[in-house]
Structure 1
Amino acid sequence: MKIAFFSDIHANLHAFKAMLEDLDSQKPDTAYCLGDLVGYHIYPNEVVGEIRKRGIATLKGNHDEKVDSIDSTPESLNEKGENYAYHLISEDNRGYLKKLPALINTEFTFVEATFKIALAHGSTRRIDEYILIDTDENYVLELLDEADADILIVGHSHKPYHRIIQTVQGVFKHVINLGSVGKPKDGDLRGCYALLTIDNNSSLLLRNSINVEFRRISYDLEASAKAIEESPLPAEFALALRSGR
């Protein structure tokens, strides 16, 4: 079974379209979005609309949650223009974002094994918590135990990795950070998403039997950056796209 996971689009429609084109070419069995559909860019409605049209199971990210605290009146637009990204969101899409869940737990069963997967934007404890590649191993195992999960998949940091932790029982647990579709921060300007492959040959007792492929996707970055610069959003948002930081 091939499962696609992506996160942190941040209303970057140019990157999102390129990612979806690649995702469709890979023909995954299913797909999940781990949140932060909006913020930092001018295309929140187009991104949310495509997610909704495709019926992709989606989590609420911290920027999606922010919609609750920022109204769409002109009076709430702050001086720097940062909130403009949220003013663009239609009332219907605001309602959709507000109803998104904070966590998704799912599992996939094969002939001899069941794989329990926990999905969270930041962590299973907080929507805005960073689970990094060097986060304390015991703490990460605590999160996995609390979630009753073998695989923890997160976003939020915009830095992709696949970390494998062996427990004292000899079981291998997996932590996957998806990076970011629309606002990478790992120095690579390309968008990123992940394909997880598990099948009858996969086992939690074999270190490398669960395959994670990070797909890096080129897109028209300059067109995306210029769209920001021609809007009321701060110019540093465009600079961030061009620097990958």
Structure 2
Amino acid sequence: MRIAFISDLHSNIYAVESLEKDLKKRDVDKIICLGDIVGYGANPVEVVEWVKENCDFSLRGNHDTLVSDAEPINMHNPYTLKAAFYNSEVLQEKHKEFLRSLEKDYEDDEMVLTHDEPCIPGSMEYITKIKEAKDTFSAFNQNYCFYGHTHIAGIFEKDNEEVNFIKESFIKLDPAKRYLINPGSVGQPRDKDPRASYLIFDKGKLTLEFIRVEYDIEKAAKDILNANLPQLFAFRLYRGV
């Protein structure tokens, strides 16, 4: 089975449309979204509709929680709140209800899925450093944890007590090792590569393929500015930061 993992779409329909075109060439069996469907961008309705129609499973990220008022959440950045208010005003109640219906995490015998980190899903903690990854590995027993939130594609590999960060486009997984795996962000990458990011996990071959996709950044940025959202959210799209 080939599973496409996507995350952090952030109301960027132009990135999502390019993602969809690329997925059609990749022969995937399932699409899993790791959350933050909305927020930051100017096209939440189109993106929520796309997720509802195309994703086999989706989690609720912190921006989804904020926009849909699913539960109390401690987010105070004024730029983030302005974008959340816009997203909430644009979305219909049926879209918010969909976001509220999503779980914050999932696990089975093989893998853990979470938006931020598996210790306390919904805590909004980031896994970006070796020390953070080492602590996080103690929170689950499965070989694989797929997560988003950081907008940075790559994996932490644990071999006995040693943990390393790996950033390669194609990786063969070792069943004797454990992994924290982040597909990066579709709608707002922050690893200095502005292209939309996602990955394909081939369960049979035990491989990960990280894929980058060009999209019309100009249109996405223009929509953000036309919606009177913070300029930061438009300008950072060009630089991938």
Q: Which TM-score tier does this pair reach, normalised by the shorter chain?
A: 0.7 to 0.9
CA contact (8 A) 2:67 2:87 kept: no
Paired residues for 1:93-104 under 5 Å: 93-104=95-106
- Secondary structure at the aligned position of 1:25 is classed as coil
Tell me which residue corresponds to 2:157: 164
- When structure 1 is superposed on structure 2, of 118-127 and 133-142 the one drifting more is 133-142
Q: Write out aligned runs for 1:208-227 (5 A).
A: 210-227=206-223
- TM-score norm. by structure 1 comes to 0.82
Question: Is the 2:190–2:240 contact (alpha carbons within 8 Å) kept by the matching residues of 1?
Answer: yes
Contact 2:6 2:198 in 1 (8 A): yes
- Is 1:189 the counterpart of 2:194? The answer is yes
Q: CA deviation at 1:229?
A: 1.1
1:196 & 1:17 partners in 2: Cα distance? 21
For 1:173, the aligned partner's letter is R
Q: Does 1:237 find its partner at 2:239?
A: no
Matched residues in 2 for 1:81 and 1:63: separation? 12
Q: Give the equivalent residue in structure 2 for 1:126.
A: 121
Could you say which structure has the larger radius of gyration?
Answer: 1
> CA RMSD, aligned part only?
2.1
**Corresponding residue of 1:173:** 178
Equivalent in the alignment of 1:14: 14
Matched, 1:151 2:156: no
Task: Flag structure 1 segments of 5+ consecutive residues without an equivalent.
Answer: 71-77, 108-115, 203-209
Deviation readout 1:182-233 (Å, 9 max, x if unpaired): 000011010000111121xx5xxxxxxx311110000011111111111121
The superposition leaves residues 95-123 of structure 1 with CA deviations (integer Å, 9 ceiling, x where unpaired) of 1101100112245xxxxxxxx01100001
State whether residues 9 and 180 of structure 1, in contact with CA within 8 Å, keep that contact through their aligned partners in structure 2.
yes
TM superposition score normalised by structure 2: 0.84
* Separation in structure 2 between the aligned mates of residue 4 and residue 241 of structure 1, nearest angstrom: 23
Q: Which amino acid aligns with 2:137?
A: L
- Count of aligned residue pairs for this structure pair: 217
